[in-house]
């Protein structure tokens, strides 16, 4: 007997924190500043760590994801 599997796409969950005052928002174009490499992309997620620190996930045109603090980014 063959089992039939129904694939369902993953659920995307959005969290909103009223006390999160992020410098950037999802959709903003940003560049990494400082350090020994460059990275440009679009903010695809903004979240707070358990410590309360804000982190941003940036995706480039290849689909590579990096997580940064706000101090490591500048608007393009």
Higher-scoring residue by pLDDT: 72, 11 = 72
Taking residues 38-51, what's their average pLDDT? 95
Assigned CATH for 29-75: 2.30.30
Nearest to residue 24, comparing CAs of 6, 40, 43, 7? 43
Distance of alpha carbon 65 from alpha carbon 50, whole angstroms: 21
Banded model confidence at residue 22, pLDDT cuts 50, 70, 90: confident
Are 20 and 55 spatial neighbours (Cβ–Cβ below 8 Å)?
Answer: no
Tens digit of each residue's pLDDT (9 = 90 or more) over 4-17: 666 666 555 445 45
Number of Cβ within a 10 Å radius of residue 73: 22
């Amino acid at each position: 007997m063959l089992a039939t599997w129904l694939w369902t796409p993953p659920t995307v969950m959005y969290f909103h924190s009223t006390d999160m005052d992020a410098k950037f928002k999802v959709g903003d174009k940003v560049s990494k500043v400082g350090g020994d490499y460059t990275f440009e992309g679009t903010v695809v997620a903004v979240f707070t760590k358990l410590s309360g620190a804000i982190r941003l996930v940036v995706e480039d045109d290849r689909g590579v994801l990096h997580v940064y603090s706000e101090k490591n980014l500048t608007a393009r």
